[in-house]
Amino acid sequence: MQNNSKQPFDLTGHCALITGGTQGVGAAIATALANAGSDVVLVGLKDDETAQQTLAACRNQEVKAELLLVDLSGPPDSYLPELLKRIKEVAPKVDLLINNVGTYIDKPYFEMDYETYQTTMHLNVTSGYFLTQAIARQWVENSVRGRILFTGSINGVLSEPDHTAYDTSKGAVAAMVRSLCVTLAPMGIRVNALAPGLVRTPLTKVLDENRQLDSWMKLHTPNGQVPTADVCGGAAVFLLSDAAGHVQGQTLLVDGGMSVWQQPDPPDTWSA
More confident residue, 227 or 74: 74
Band of pLDDT at residue 1, cut at 50, 70 and 90 = very low
Listed in sequence order, the DSSP H helices in the chain are 24-35, 49-59, 80-90, 114-121, 127-141, 164-184, 206-209, 211-219, 231-240
Instruction: Answer yes or no: pTM beyond 0.85.
Output: yes
Mean pLDDT of the chain: 92
- What fold characterizes domain 15-254? Rossmann fold (3.40.50)
166 is known as an active-site residue: yes
Catalytic, out of 79, 104, 117, 166: 166
Maximum distance among all Cα pairs of the chain, rounded to whole angstroms? 68
Asked if 37 and 63 count as a contact pair (C-beta separation under 8 A), the reply is: yes
- DSSP state letter for 200: B
pLDDT of 210 > 80? The answer is: no
pLDDT of 4 > 50? The answer is: no
Tens-place pLDDT, residues 141-183: 999 999 999 999 999 999 989 999 999 999 999 999 999 999 9
**How many helices and strands in the chain, by DSSP H and E?**
9, 7
The confidence score (pLDDT) of residue 183 equals 98
pLDDT average, residue stretch 83-98: 97
Rounded Cα gap, residues 43 and 171, in angstroms: 23
Residue 227 phi/psi, 5° resolution?
-85, 180
Strands of the 65-69 sheet, one edge to the other: 65-69, 39-44, 15-19, 96-99, 147-151, 190-196, 251-254
What is the distance of C-alpha 97 from the center of its chain?
10
Tens-place pLDDT, residues 102-146: 999 999 999 999 999 999 999 999 999 999 999 999 999 999 999
More confident residue, 265 or 246: 246
Q: HSE-up of 242 (CA within 13 Å, CB side)?
A: 11
The confidence score (pLDDT) of residue 2 equals 42
